[in-house]
């Protein structure tokens, strides 16, 4: 199976969700499998439902260790959820909505049928009216900062920063080079933004930006050097193709994944302070026709990770992962 990704993250998620079978009603304790370790991280793999054909994508994590994510129903609509691996709760969103970001107060952001939304903890879905043309909100910090992507009147699709959902002004986040296509994916409480842009080669590359450097409502992103990818068993001769940064915490530790020439995808942790990459895959990921997938989509201040991987049937499953140096609030009680 080949999973194709483009500049818009919600299209990327659609590609993975296309292989997920029907989910049973939420909430539930889902098939939680714990105890896997890789590079010292303890992984808990789960879905927000039970059954051999169920699947899900965890798209973000709050500093309380609560994830937000999306699964696909048999009829092609989406089922969104939040909670911990042990207990997930359905989100009251539209049939075409996808939830991408969550903060410690339980506020959720995402996209619904091509329009950015904000969801209150009481379950009220509100469209983001600023900026006009906001197609998706990808991240929200504990301070209420929101980042995402919008369609400009000139046809460009830059990123945006919004100080809160009630603000009337915003900051445009432009690409460092190439076409002005930017996905601003996450922001920490100090104004550090990460995401990705489309380069002159037509591929996605990592990007970061510091809100303090905005000038007259515009902020130009800084290109992050592409990783020198490691040798991966089962992928001889694989070469780097693209990368996306999807999450960042207050320590400036970002997470994401890269795609290689075999069309496999692998997770990484990127230290924005030192410029170093650490590569990390879910130990349960498996090949189907030479392709395997791990994406790390979020990181809490504790260092706890969220993301998803695909199994030998190309079905996506969510995970959280706790580093060896940290206390993660939902470990080990979430282990069966």
66 versus 36: the higher-pLDDT residue is 66
Domains in the chain, number: 1
Q: How confident is the model at residue 143 (pLDDT cuts 50, 70, 90)?
A: very high
Residue 329 sits at φ, ψ, to 5 deg, of -60, -20
What is the average per-residue pLDDT within 226-250?
Answer: 97
- In-domain check, residue 334: no
- Rg from Cα positions in the chain: 18
The tens digit of pLDDT for each residue in 159-203 reads: 999 999 999 999 999 999 999 999 999 999 999 999 999 999 999
In DSSP terms, 322 is beta-bridged to: 42
The tens digit of pLDDT for each residue in 321-332 reads: 999 888 887 765
Could you tell me what percent of the chain has a pLDDT over 90?
75
- In-domain check, residue 198: yes
Strand 218-220 versus strand 171-174 pairing type: parallel
Residue 270 sits at φ, ψ, to 5 deg, of -125, 125
Whole-structure pTM value: 0.91
Name which of 64, 65, 90, 63 is nearest 77 in CA terms.
Answer: 90
- In-domain check, residue 327: no
What is the rounded CA–CA span in Å between residue 12 and residue 9? 5
Q: What letter would DSSP give residue 151?
A: -
- In-domain check, residue 332: no
Dihedral sign from CA coordinates of 182, 196, 3, 62: negative
pLDDT value of residue 313: 92
Q: What letter would DSSP give residue 115?
A: E
Residue 54 lies in domain:
9-322
The tens digit of pLDDT for each residue in 9-29 reads: 555 565 555 444 333 333 344
The tens digit of pLDDT for each residue in 258-311 reads: 999 999 999 999 999 999 999 999 999 999 999 999 999 999 999 999 999 999
- In-domain check, residue 189: yes
- Sheet with 192-198, edge to edge strand ranges: 182-187, 192-198, 204-210, 222-223
Strand 33-38 versus strand 41-46 pairing type: antiparallel
What is the rounded CA–CA span in Å between residue 153 and residue 255? 31
What CATH number has the domain bearing residue 40?
Answer: 2.120.10.30
Name which of 216, 204, 213 is nearest 175 in CA terms.
Answer: 204
327 versus 218: the higher-pLDDT residue is 218
- In-domain check, residue 330: no
- In-domain check, residue 312: yes
Dihedral sign from CA coordinates of 228, 230, 232, 237: positive
Q: Cβ(34)–Cβ(335) under 8 Å?
A: yes
- In-domain check, residue 268: yes
Residue 205 sits at φ, ψ, to 5 deg, of -140, 150
Q: How confident is the model at residue 241 (pLDDT cuts 50, 70, 90)?
A: very high
The tens digit of pLDDT for each residue in 98-134 reads: 999 999 999 999 999 999 999 988 888 999 999 999 9
């Amino acid at each position: 199976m080949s999973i194709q990704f483009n500049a818009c993250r919600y299209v990327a998620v659609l590609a993975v969700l296309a292989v997920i079978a029907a989910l049973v009603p939420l909430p539930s304790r889902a098939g939680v499998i714990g105890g896997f370790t890789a590079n010292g991280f303890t992984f808990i793999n789960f879905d927000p439902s039970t059954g051999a054909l169920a699947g899900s994508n965890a798209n973000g994590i709050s500093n309380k260790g609560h994830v937000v994510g999306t699964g696909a129903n048999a009829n092609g609509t989406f089922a969104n959820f939040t909670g911990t691996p042990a207990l997930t709760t359905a989100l009251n969103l539209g049939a075409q909505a996808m939830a991408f970001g969550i903060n410690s107060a339980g506020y959720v952001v995402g996209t619904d049928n091509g329009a950015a939304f904000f969801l209150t903890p009481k379950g009220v879905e509100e469209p983001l009216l600023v900026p006009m043309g906001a197609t998706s909100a990808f991240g929200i910090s504990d301070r209420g900062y929101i980042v995402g992507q919008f369609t400009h009147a000139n046809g460009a699709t830059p990123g945006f920063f919004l100080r809160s959902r009630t603000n009337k002004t915003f900051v445009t986040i432009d690409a460092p080079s190439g076409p002005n296509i930017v996905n601003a994916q996450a922001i920490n409480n100090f104004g550090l933004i990460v995401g990705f842009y489309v380069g002159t080669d037509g591929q996605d590359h990592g990007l970061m930006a510091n809100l303090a450097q905005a000038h007259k409502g515009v902020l130009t992103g800084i290109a992050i050097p592409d990783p020198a990818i490691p040798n991966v068993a089962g992928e001889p001769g694989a070469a780097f193709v693209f990368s996306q940064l999807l999450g960042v915490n207050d320590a400036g530790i970002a997470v994401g994944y890269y795609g290689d020439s075999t069309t496999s995808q692998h997770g990484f942790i990127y230290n924005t302070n030192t410029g170093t990459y650490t590569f990390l895959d879910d130990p349960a990921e498996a090949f189907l026709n030479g392709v395997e997938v791990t994406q790390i989509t979020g990181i809490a201040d504790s260092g706890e990770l969220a993301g998803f991987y695909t199994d030998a049937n190309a079905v996506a499953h969510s995970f959280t992962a706790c580093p060896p140096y940290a206390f993660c609030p939902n470990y080990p009680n979430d282990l069966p």
